[in-house]
Structures are given as C-alpha cells and as structure tokens.
C-alpha cells in the first residue's frame, strides 16, 4: 500500500507541475516581411544620344494593408507619349515592415524575373515594346527600355506586370519579356498587377 | 419532401441489407450439409476482466478424449467430431475452470468462453498484461497480424485504407489523414496507446503525428463514441495500440526492413520486448523506426520535392501485480517532409494555369533533397497509467498524458526568410482520466469517470507572417457513465456524458490586440445493443449523439492558404455541431465465409464547412478566392461491406467496399472532399500444404474507385475520372530454429496507371504515384 501512495503522490506532483508550466504565451505582433505593399514604376525619357529628357515620372500601385484585408489596391494610371523611349525602373517595397524588396530581388536575381503582358505588350499591334536592360546583364526586369510606337492608333491599353519567383530561367521562351506562357517555366507569382495605360 | 427523400434513400439500404441477408442464409444452408463425423468445436477464450484473448489455455472434450490448446488470439478448434452432446473443460493457470455441455449438430458451432481469475493471493495467480479491449456494441474493425504486416512502411492513413469504410484525405503522397464514413480531422479521434492525440489536426495538410510501427493492432470504431472518448469523437475513433507488456520472463526482438523502388524508400523498424526475470511482473518495450524517401515518380515524370525523412521512438515500462498495475509510456514522432514544389501557386491565375496543364510543368528528377516548401513536425507524448483492483469486480484507473507538438512550415520566400518558418506553432496538451470499471460475471459491467483536457497553443514569434490562428488556452472537463448488461446472446449498453469547455484566445491584428473568451457545453448519450443471432451471426446497432465545439481555425482563421489561392475567414459566432449517428452492423463468421455489413445514417446540425463566398480579393499579388467558415445542416449516410470466402483449401477471395453520401440539406447540394464509391477485391492462392501452417501465398488484387458524381457546386477542377489499379503481393513465412522470418514482395499499381484520386488535394497539380515495388523483411528473434 505504501508504494501505491507514493506513486500517486509522485503522479500528483508531476501533473500539477505540467499544468502550471503550460499556459499559452502572450501574442506578439508580426511584421509581414514577405508582403509587397507598394510597387512604383519610374519612367525616364531619353533621346538618340541616350541623354535624359525632362523629369522622371512615377506611377504607383499600393495596397497598404496587404492581401488579408481584402481592400482593392489603388493603382495609378500610367501616361506615356507616342514615339518616345523610356528607361523604366521598378521599385518594390513593404511599407508595413519598412523594407526594400527591390534589393532582395536583385540579391536573388537568378530566382526572379518580371514579365510584361496585357494589351500594352502582347501581339503585333501592341503599342509598347520592352527590352531587359538590367545593369548586371541578367534578365530580371528591375530596369528595362520601353518604347512607345510612333504610329499606334491605340490610346488606352492595359499593362500587366508579373513578377515570377523560383522559375526556370532556361526554359525555352523564358527570355522573352512578353512570354505569355510564363507559368510553364515553373515558380509562382509574387506580383501580378495591371496598370491602366494612356498614350498621348 | 426532404424527409421523403431520406426515407427513400434509407429504403435502398434496407433492401441491400435484405439482399445480403438472403445470401447469408444461402451460405449458411450450404455449410450445414457437412458429413456426420467431420464436425468441429470452435471457440475463443478470453479474460473475463478485459476481454483480452488467452493463449495456451487447455481445452478438453471429455467424450471424444481429444483436446486443443488456444492460440495467440484465444481461438481453438477440436476437429473430427461426430454429432452429439459433448462436455468441454477449459483450464488455464490462475483461472477458474470452465465446464460446459454442448450439443453439436452442425459445423458452425462456435462459442466464446470468458475465464475468471481465481481468488487473489494464491500461489498460482497468473499476472497478465493489460490492454483494455474495446468493449463497445458499435461497429469495430481492426488491422492486425498479416494485414498489418502487409501495410508496414505506409503511413497511418494509407494503412487504414484496408478497412472498409475508411479512406484518406491526402495532400500528395506523404500526407494522408484517415477518413471514417466521410469525416476526418477534428471530427474523428486518434488514440495513441490510450491518449487522445492532440496535434494541429485542423489543417487539411496536417497528417496525424503517429508512427504505425508502434502498434501491433490498429482498431477503428465506426460509431459515435463521444461518451467514451470525449467531444470530437463524433465520426469515429482510431485506436493505435501496442501489444500488452510482458509480465513473465521473456525476450523478443522484431526487426522490419522495407525497401521501395518508387521514391527509393528505405524504412527500418526494431522492437525489443522483455519481461524481467528478477522482478516478477516487470516488463518493458523499446521501439524505434526510421524512414527516408526521395522524389516520388508518377507515370512519365518525378514529383519535385516530395521526399520524406522520419524518425520515431517509443518505449514503455510496466509493472503488474495481482492488484496494482503501473505503466509509463513515451513516444516521439519526428518528420521532415517536402511539399510538391508546383503546388505552391502564387495566385488564382497560377493555380488555373497548372490545373489546365494537369501535371507539373517540369519533368523533374530524382533527389532525396527536401527544400522549401516543407514541414517539420515533432510530437512528444508521455503517459503514466495505473490501475488498482479494489475488489474482484471493481477497478480504479488513473491516466495522465502530456503532449508537446511543434509544427514548422517553411515556404518559398526571399533571402534569409527561407530559413525562417512561416508557421511555427507550439501546442501543449495535458489530459487526465480518472475512472472506475466494474465487471460482474455475465451481468452488469460499466465505467464511470471524469476527464480533463487542458491545452495551450502559442505562435512562436519571429515568423514574419501574421499567424493564421491565435494563441489560445482551452480547458475541457467531461463527466461520464456507461453501463452494459449482458445476458445470454444479448448485450445492451447505454451511456451519458456532460462536457464543459472554455476557450480563451489572443492575437494581434494590425498591431491591435484582440482577445476572445468563449465557452461551450453539451450532453451526449448513446444506446447500443449486440445480439448473437446464431453462434456465427451477430447483429449490432448503436445510436449515439455527439457534439463538437468549433475549432480555433474555424472561429478565427484569417489569412491566405498557400497553394489553394484562397483567403480563409473564420467566424467567432459559430455554434457547436450536434450529430446523431445510427449505425448497424451484421457480421457472419463461418468456416469458409466471413461477412461484415455496416449501414449508417448520420444527421448533423450546424455542420461547419468552408464555403466559397463567390467573392474574390484583388491584391498586388493577383486574385484570390474568398472562403468563409459557415454552418449548415448535413446528412451523411452510407454502407460498408467486407467479405471473404475460401473456395478451396488453396484459393480464397475477398471483396470490400463503401459508399458515402454527404448532403448539405439546407442548400440541397454536396460537401466537397467526400470519398467516391469504391470496391477492392482480390484472389489469393495459398501454396502451403494442410499440415504446414506457415503463410506462403500470392494475392492479386484490384482497386476500383468511381468518379465522384456527388460534387460540390464549386471546385477549382472537376472530379477526376474513375480508375482501376492492380496490385500483386507474395508473402512467405519461414522458420529458422525458433526464429520466424516473414518475407513479402508487393507490386503496387502494377500497370503504372496514370490516375488522380478525388480525395487527394494535389489532384489539381499532379497525377498520383506510379508503380512501386516493395520488399519487406520481418525477422522475429
């Protein structure tokens, strides 16, 4: 009987220990590090001598609370001029965690690539053409050259910009900035935004 | 209108049942035509106290001067008897002798004898290991012996598919959740050696944290068992039980070695069991298993990043004297598993693109490497159990269980974030059971008890992702009583339980602390009966009410479900689900024929499900579909059947299958992810001669799965077409001295058939596994 009593005593102690030792921790707010809240397109017009013409013009798409809140992002209308050449740079940021994501994309340049789709770029009569012009020479799309057709009759169009992550850059066709079948190269979309375009 | 439909459906089942009854009667009449002196007395010997089989009891038929010794399952047969009246005596050390007079007319005679322990304190008292058999009047099926051996190397969900009425809800080939009669996750319960397994079972891609190797028997209770096991056991219970610890001096080691060609899988398991020769009644067991596999091959390509690495341990130490029993048990489950890279889609457009392609875009290659996305899960379970015999018929039981579950999920992220889990949950669970059993010989027996569950869930900070579910503390108290009355061929059982649960949650949303305090309470009850129509034919029926409080994810989910292109939103105002399950089973155990037929109806009030709202969220990342947790009245019903027949001494066949219907009766449509109708049948040829009891047989089997025609209104892709798979297996048992060697060779998906299963969430992204050849070696020494 004595051993029985002892066993139950030990059991009681163990149980009370375990019960007091586990209460859930106080929650801690998390900064969503992955989230992209702001995408800015910077256009710098340049002439035949590659000299800049006029001021840098910028257009933004922003979704300050991220995906979960379900509010639609606000997206600026992009306005470009017929027959002009622009250097387009893309700036990606997370305003919640105050993070520069452009730098992260450049660090993992072998895993990221932008594609430029929608009526602005797809098809023979598309008003815009795009060529990758990243300083490192890789095909990323953080910097590129956008040319607006001189003779286009299109005034309104859609610029769809997709950022692919973890794709196979050697997949046949993946080097085309207007690659419609980009999903076939694998990976997933980190960004998929459509900017309305007005051509003046 | 609805009632009429329901009655019509039920009538279908009744007719089916009548049909099977007719077949049974026919079979019975066939078997009765046996010659006069080729009759046999068959029986089963079990402990009165816990229904455990008794091995090596001595049976003597006085008039025939012939006897037999019961085998490890307690079964015995005395053959070559003429019809007439016989006196049977049964003797077993430490137990009272049984003397019975039987009238032998046909070859279907079979009887169960319960042996009662002799008065305690005598020199001859035999102490036996304790494993409480499931004493329920509801439908129960078990996986053990050869069948369990055949399933070795598979995860719990896959193994249990061998039981009719059980299927899996899976995410690829490495994550499989068992489904009983269309219910899974929080609607069924898994018991790891008597402790309810508490992991993050709410997630569709969260597999049960348990190693099937620790069991020597896995039992599925198909009825509502809330009274016995607590809330959530509404769809059924899975009991994963190790063998009882030895109480005599002995030592046995069991080694399993398994290799599979698909995924180049290797699996090793070792169990060592011993009984002390110094201290009588002291025994222990130690078990460990390890598994490694790489990318799975589907017909024509490899599924990238589908490797698994698993390491499991379990051990127990027990002491039994005639009055007191104590057992300490610990189990560790650890897994690292890769998630098919292509299943991590960024948005709805990505998901639609891969669905349209039907399979991953790349052919992939073989690799053991496990990259992001991946899961890392560790589950610790410790228990202390003790019982004390207050008197001959009263037993006091105490059980304490401690569990710590850690779940880390890694996503494909940018830069250093790849090293950081995007979901990191730590869940502590304490359970205490205190109950008394009373057993009186062939009269009343019962259990009364209290059960406490305390749970604390924390999101480990630093993930860089707003947690999907809040931190919470849960406390549940249950008080219950069950009584069973047995008289002759009839057993009647009833039980009642009351539960009270409190839930406190806390989380930050947009830097703002949000807390909630909720409580739930409910009564549940059941009434069941079992009737032995003849020694071979048993009918049981059980009606049970059950309830389930809403789970934390159903109340508070708020976020993106990766790979499903879905935003899932909880509802803190959800009410508890209330279910009523009526289940009937007819069992026939003949000399050559075995049949089991189960039919059930299960209406559920306030069934909680994830409903597409028809809205989409547009974000910078693209478009997502919005789902909300909502409630509706549901009706589940269906049938399971399983049968086998020995055509000759060499050739035998089996057939099993199940049909489940799950309707949303409010909306008059179907719930998603309910298993399609299926049939599994096969033929075996046994090479063994009559006098050689060792297995030496080859089996050809065929699995037929219908297209799920009862589809929900919305799904990303239509249900895949019906498919047929063929499998071949060969099993041989050899003896090397006193040691036993079992060899098994299996070919699964013999023709490398390209198929998709409706119950696999990865059917959106890929075809299922192709041919797999497995070699299984089991050595007992």
Distance between CA A26 and CA A22 in Å, rounded? Answer: 12
**C-beta atoms surrounding B747 within 10 Å:** 17
Residue B691 neighbours by CB distance under 10 Å: 5
For residue B178, is pLDDT > 90? yes
Spatial contact of B557 and B569, defined as CB atoms under 8 Å apart: yes
Instruction: Answer whether A188's CB lies under 8 Å from B346's CB.
Output: yes
DSSP string of B306-347, one letter each residue: --EEEEEEEEEEEEE-SSEEEEEEEEEEEEEEE--GGG--SS
**What is the total count of domains within chain A?**
1
What is the pLDDT confidence band of residue B108, given thresholds at 50, 70 and 90?
low
ipTM, 2 decimals?
0.83
**Chain B residues with CB-CB distance to A4 below 8 A:** 324, 388
Region B520-539: what's the mean pLDDT? 91
Query: What is the spatial distance between Cα B255 and Cα B555, in angstroms, rounded to a whole number?
Result: 46
Question: Which chain A residues have a beta carbon less than 8 Å from that of B401?
Answer: none
> How far lies B668's CA from each of B342, B633, B665, B710, in Å?
35, 10, 5, 11
Of B141-145, B308-312, B597-601, where does mean pLDDT reach its minimum? B141-145
- A18: chain B residues, CB-CB within 8 Å: 402, 430
Which residues neighbour B679 within 8 Å (Cβ) at sequence distance 6 or greater?
Answer: B655, B656, B657, B703, B704
Task: Check residue B448 and give its pLDDT.
Answer: 95
Contacts of B507 in chain A (CB under 8 A): 27
Read off the tokens for B486: 């047995």
How confident is the model over B128-155, as pLDDT tens digits? 444 455 567 788 888 888 889 889 999 9
Q: Give tens-digit pLDDT for A150-159.
A: 988 888 999 9
Share of chain B above pLDDT 90, in %: 59
Q: What is the mean pLDDT of residues B487-502?
A: 91
Alpha carbon distances (Å) from A81 to A156, A180, A200, B736: 12, 25, 5, 89
| Residue B636 token pair | 């589940």
Report the half-sphere exposure of B210 (CA within 13 A, side-chain side). Answer: 32
pLDDT at B495 > cutoff 90: yes
Residue B692 confidence class, pLDDT cut points 50, 70, 90: low
Q: Would the pLDDT of B498 be above 60?
A: yes
Q: What would the two tokens of residue B660 be?
A: 């489940």
Taking a C-beta distance cutoff of 8 angstroms, is the pair A126, A148 a contact? Answer: no
Average pLDDT, whole number, for chain B? 87
Taking the C-alpha atoms of residue A160 and residue A122, their distance in angstroms, rounded to an integer, is: 10
Per-residue pLDDT of chain A (200 residues; tens, 9 = 90+): 455 566 566 666 655 555 545 788 899 888 777 788 899 999 999 998 889 999 999 999 998 876 555 577 899 999 999 999 999 999 999 887 788 899 989 999 999 999 999 999 998 889 999 999 999 999 999 999 999 999 888 889 999 999 999 899 999 999 999 999 999 998 888 999 999 999 98
pLDDT at position A198: 95
What is d(CA B639, CA B659) in angstroms, rounded to the nearest whole number?
Answer: 5
Work out the average pLDDT over B447-451: 95
Spatial CA neighbour of B606 closest among B636, B575, B629:
B575
User: What is the pLDDT, as a whole number, of residue B119?
Assistant: 44
* pLDDT confidence bin for B65, thresholds 50/70/90: confident
Q: Is the dihedral of CA B755, B760, B761, B762 positive or negative?
A: negative
Name the band, by pLDDT with cuts 50, 70 and 90, for residue B35. Answer: very low
Distance CA B229, CA B226 (A): 5
- E strands present in A24-84: 38-46, 57-62, 74-75, 78-80
Element (H, E) at B144: strand B140-144
Instruction: Report the pLDDT value the prediction gives residue B135, as an integer from 0 to 100.
Output: 60
Q: What is the mean pLDDT of residues B454-482?
A: 93
Nearest CB among A24, A34, A61 relative to B457 is that of A24
Distance CA B694, CA B732 (A): 7
Using an 8 Å Cβ cutoff, are A25 and A74 in contact?
no
Q: Tell which of B360, B422, B619 to mutate to test the A interface (max A CBs under 10 Å).
A: B619
Q: What is the pLDDT of residue A9?
A: 65
Q: Binning pLDDT at 50, 70 and 90, where does residue B4 land? A: very low
Of A68, A73, A185, the CB nearest to B558: A68
Task: Give the DSSP letter string of B421-477.
Answer: -SEEEEEEEEEEEEEEEEE-TTSEEEEEEEEEEEEEEEEPS--SS--SS-EEEEEEE
Strand pairing of A85-94 and A78-80? unpaired
Question: Is residue A27 situated within a structural domain?
Answer: no
pLDDT value at B426 more than 80: yes
DSSP state of A67: S
* B69 at A interface, C-beta within 8 A: no
SS (H, E, C) B728-744: EEEEEEEEECCEEEEEE
User: What class has domain B140-780?
Assistant: mainly beta
Distance from CA of B343 to the nearest CA of A (A): 9
Residue matched to tokens 């470009």: A80
Among A22-36, B259-273, B317-331, whose mean pLDDT is lowest? A22-36
- The position carrying tokens 């060592």 is B272
DSSP bridge pairs for B385: B327, B399
Q: Is the pLDDT higher at B345 or at B110?
A: B345
Q: Place B778 in a pLDDT band, splitting at 50, 70 and 90.
A: very high
Judged by CB atoms closer than 8 Å, whether chains meet at B454 and A19 is answered as yes
A32:B464 CB<8 A: yes
DSSP state of A73: P
* Cα of B200 to nearest chain A Cα, Å: 15
In a domain, A101, yes or no: yes
Distance to chain A for B127, nearest Cα, Å: 18
- In this complex, is the C-beta atom of B415 within 8 Å of any C-beta atom belonging to chain A? yes
Residue A34 resides in a domain: no
**Structural domain contains residue A73:** yes
Say if the Cβ atoms of B621 and A190 lie within 8 Å.
yes
**B546 sits in which H/E element:** strand B537-548
Are the beta carbons of B526 and B492 closer than 8 angstroms?
A: no
Q: Which residue does chain B place closest to A101, by CA atoms?
A: B414
pLDDT recorded at residue B225: 84
SS3 A48: coil
In CATH terms, the superfamily for domain B37-122 is Carboxypeptidase-like, regulatory domain (2.60.40.1120)
H/E segment holding residue B87: strand B84-91
CA distance A110 to chain B (A): 12
Which tops the pLDDT comparison, B226 or B121? B226
- Count Cβ atoms below 10 Å from residue B577 Cβ, excluding itself: 24
Checking DSSP bridges between strand B324-338 and strand B39-47, what pairing results, if any?
unpaired
Q: Is the pLDDT of residue B758 over 80?
A: yes
CATH number at residue A175: 2.70.50
HSE (side-chain half, CA atoms, 13 Å) at A173: 9
Q: Return the C-alpha torsion angle B95, B96, B101, B104, nearest 10.
A: 0
In a domain, A143, yes or no: yes
Contacts of A62 in chain B (CB under 8 A): 620
DSSP character at residue A124: T
* pLDDT value for A5: 64
The whole-number pLDDT of residue B24 equals: 46
Q: Tell me the per-residue pLDDT of B271-288, one tens digit each, with 9 for 90 and over.
A: 999 999 888 889 999 999
Q: Which of B237, B83, B254, B260 is nearest to B166 (CA)?
A: B237
Give the model's pLDDT for residue B121.
34
> Is the distance from CB of B196 to CB of B430 less than 8 angstroms?
no
Which of these, B46, B82, B47, B49, lies nearest to B64 by C-alpha position? B82
CA distance linking residue B537 with residue B32, whole number of Å = 14
Mean pLDDT of all residues in B721-747: 93
Looking at the DSSP assignment, which residues form a beta bridge with residue A24? none
Q: Is the pLDDT of residue B628 over 90?
A: yes
pLDDT of B244 higher than 70: yes
What is the Cα–Cα distance from B403 to B329, expressed in whole angstroms? 12
Q: Is B456 on the interface with A (CB under 8 A)?
A: yes
In B524-581, alpha helices (H)? 552-556
Alpha-carbon dihedral of residues B244, B246, B252, B256, nearest 10 degrees? Answer: 10
A18, A190, A192 member nearest B402 (Cβ): A18
Contact between B207 and B179 (Cβ < 8 Å)? no
Instruction: Tell me if residue B5 falls in helix, strand or coil.
Output: helix
Q: Between the CA atoms of B102, B105, B111 and B115, what dihedral angle is there, to the nearest 10 degrees?
A: 20
| Residue B165 contacts residue B142 (beta carbons within 8 Å) | no
Instruction: Tell me which residue has tokens 């698993």.
Output: B310
**A31 assigned to some structural domain:** no
Residue B710 scores a pLDDT above 80: yes
Beta-carbon separation of B414 and A165 below 8 A: yes
B362 φ/ψ angles, rounded to the nearest 5 degrees: -100, 150
Minimal CA separation from B356 to chain A, in Å: 11
User: pLDDT-based confidence at B613, cuts 50/70/90?
Assistant: confident
Residue A30 lies in a domain: no
Positions of E strands within A118-155: 128-132, 143-148
Q: What is the pLDDT of residue A69?
A: 58
Residue B30 has a pLDDT of 42
Is the pLDDT score of B47 beyond 70?
Answer: yes
**Cα→Cα distances B457→A22, B406, B431, B433, B453, Å:** 9, 10, 15, 21, 13
Full residue range of the structural domain in which residue A99 is found: 39-199
What are the tens digits of pLDDT across the range B541-558? 999 999 999 999 999 998
B 529-588 residues with CB below 8 A of A?
A: 558-560, 567
B361 and A101 within 8 Å at the Cβ level: the answer is no
Pairs of residues, one from chain A and one from chain B, whose beta carbons lie less than 8 Å apart: 155
pLDDT at B711: 92
Peptide bond into B373 cis (omega under 30): yes
- What pLDDT is attached to residue B13? 39
- Residue B697, beta-bridge partner list: B686, B731
Return the domain boundaries, chain B: 37-122, 140-780
**A15 → closest Cβ in B350, B400, B467:** B400
* Distance between B507 CA and the closest CA of chain A, angstroms: 5
Specify if A16 maps to a domain.
no
* SS3 state at A21: helix
């Amino acid at each position: 009987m004595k051993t029985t009593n002892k066993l139950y005593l030990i059991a009681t102690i163990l149980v009370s220990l375990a019960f007091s030792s586990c209460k859930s921790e106080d929650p801690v707010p998390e900064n969503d590090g992955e989230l992209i809240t702001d995408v800015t397109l910077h256009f710098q017009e340049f002439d035949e001598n590659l000299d800049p013409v006029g001021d840098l013009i910028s257009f933004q798409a922003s979704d300050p609370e991220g995906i979960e809140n379900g509010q639609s992002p606000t997206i600026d209308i992009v306005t470009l001029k017929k027959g002009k050449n622009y250097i387009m740079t893309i700036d990606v940021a997370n305003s919640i965690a105050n993070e520069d994501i452009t730098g992260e994309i450049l660090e993992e340049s072998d895993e990221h690539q932008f594609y430029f789709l929608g009526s602005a770029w797809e098809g023979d009569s598309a008003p815009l053409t795009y060529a990758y012009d990243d300083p490192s020479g890789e095909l990323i799309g953080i910097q590129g050259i956008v040319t607006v057709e001189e003779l286009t009759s299109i005034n309104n169009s859609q610029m769809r910009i997709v950022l692919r992550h973890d794709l196979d850059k050697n997949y046949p066709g993946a080097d085309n900035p207007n690659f419609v079948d980009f999903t076939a190269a694998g990976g997933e979309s980190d960004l998929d935004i459509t900017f309305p375009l007005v051509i003046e | 209108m609805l009632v009429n439909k329901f009655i019509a459906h039920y009538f279908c089942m009744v007719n089916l049942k009548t049909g099977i009854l007719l077949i049974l009667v026919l079979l019975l009449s066939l078997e009765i035509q046996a010659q006069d002196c080729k009759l046999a007395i068959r029986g089963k010997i079990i402990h009165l106290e816990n229904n455990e089989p008794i091995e090596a009891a001595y049976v003597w038929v006085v008039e025939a001067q012939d006897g037999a010794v019961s085998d490890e399952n307690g079964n015995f047969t005395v053959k070559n008897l003429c019809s007439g009246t016989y006196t049977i005596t049964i003797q077993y050390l430490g137990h009272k002798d049984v003397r019975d007079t039987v009238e032998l007319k046909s070859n279907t005679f079979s009887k169960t004898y319960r042996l009662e322990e002799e008065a305690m304190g005598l020199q001859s008292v035999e102490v036996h290991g304790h494993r409480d058999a499931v004493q329920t009047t509801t439908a129960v099926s078990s996986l053990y012996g050869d069948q369990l051996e055949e399933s070795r190397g598979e995860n719990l969900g896959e193994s249990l598919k061998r039981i009719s009425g059980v299927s899996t809800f899976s995410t690829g080939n490495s994550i499989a959740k068992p489904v009983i009669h269309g219910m899974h996750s929080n609607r069924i319960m898994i018991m790891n050696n008597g402790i309810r397994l508490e992991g993050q079972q709410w997630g569709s891609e969260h597999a049960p944290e348990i190693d099937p190797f620790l069991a020597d028997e896995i039992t599925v209770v198909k009825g509502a068992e809330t009274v016995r096991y607590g809330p959530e056991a509404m769809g059924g219970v899975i009991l994963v039980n190790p063998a009882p610890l030895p109480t005599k001096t002995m030592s046995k080691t069991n080694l399993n070695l398994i290799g599979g060609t698909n995924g180049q899988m290797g699996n090793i398991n070792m169990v060592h069991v011993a009984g002390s020769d110094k201290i009588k009644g002291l025994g222990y067991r130690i078990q460990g298993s390890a598994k490694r596999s790489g990318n799975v091959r589907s017909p024509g390509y490899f599924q990238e990043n589908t490797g698994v690495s698993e390491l499991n341990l379990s051990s127990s130490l027990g002491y039994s004297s005639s009055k007191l029993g104590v057992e300490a048990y610990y189990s560790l489950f650890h897994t690292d598993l890769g998630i098919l890279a292509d299943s991590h889609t960024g948005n709805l457009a990505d998901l639609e693109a891969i669905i349209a392609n039907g399979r991953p875009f790349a052919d992939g290659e073989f690799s053991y490497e496990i990259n992001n996305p991946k899961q890392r899960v560790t589950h610790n379970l410790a228990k202390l159990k003790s019982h004390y015999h207050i008197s001959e018929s009263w037993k006091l039981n105490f059980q304490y269980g401690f569990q710590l579950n850690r779940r880390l999920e890694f996503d494909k992220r940018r830069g250093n974030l790849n090293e950081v889990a995007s979901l990191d949950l730590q869940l502590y669970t304490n359970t205490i059971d205190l109950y008394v059993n009373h057993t009186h010989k062939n009269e009343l027996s019962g259990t009364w008890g209290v059960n406490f569950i305390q749970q604390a869930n924390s999101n480990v900070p630093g993930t860089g992702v707003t947690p999907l579910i809040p931190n919470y503390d849960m406390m549940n108290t249950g008080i219950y009583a069950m009584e069973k009355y047995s008289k002759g061929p009839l057993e009647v059982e009833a039980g009642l339980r009351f539960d009270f649960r409190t839930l406190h949650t806390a989380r930050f949303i947009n830097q703002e602390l949000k807390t909630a305090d909720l409580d739930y309470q409910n009564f549940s009850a059941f009434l069941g009966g079992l009737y032995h129509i003849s020694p071979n034919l048993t009918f049981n029926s059980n009606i049970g009410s059950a309830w389930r409080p809403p789970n934390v994810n159903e109340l508070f989910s708020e976020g993106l479900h990766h790979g499903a292109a879905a935003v899932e939103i909880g509802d803190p105002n959800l009410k508890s689900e209330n279910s009523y399950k009526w289940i009937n089973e007819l069992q026939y155990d003949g000399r050559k024929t075995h049949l089991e037929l189960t039919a059930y109806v299960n209406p559920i009030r306030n069934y909680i499900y994830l409903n597409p709202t028809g809205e989409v969220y547009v974000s910078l990342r693209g478009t997502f579909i919005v789902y909300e947790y909502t409630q509706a009245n549901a009706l589940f019903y269906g049938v399971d059947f399983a049968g086998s027949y020995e055509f000759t001494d060499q050739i035998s066949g089996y057939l099993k299958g199940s049909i489940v219907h799950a309707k949303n009766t409010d909306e008059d449509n179907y719930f998603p992810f309910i298993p399609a109708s299926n049939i599994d049948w096969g033929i075996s040829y046994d090479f063994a001669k009559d006098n050689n009891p060792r297995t030496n047989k080859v089996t050809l089997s065929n699995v037929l799965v219908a297209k799920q025609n009862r589809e929900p209104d919305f799904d990303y892709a239509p249900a895949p077409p019906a498919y047929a798979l063929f499998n071949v297996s060969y099993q041989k048992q050899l003896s090397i001295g006193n040691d036993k060697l079992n060899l098994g060779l299996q070919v699964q998906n013999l023709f490398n058939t390209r198929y998709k299963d409706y119950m696999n969430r990865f059917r959106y992204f890929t075809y299922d596994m192709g041919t797999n050849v497995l070699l299984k070696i089991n050595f007992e020494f």
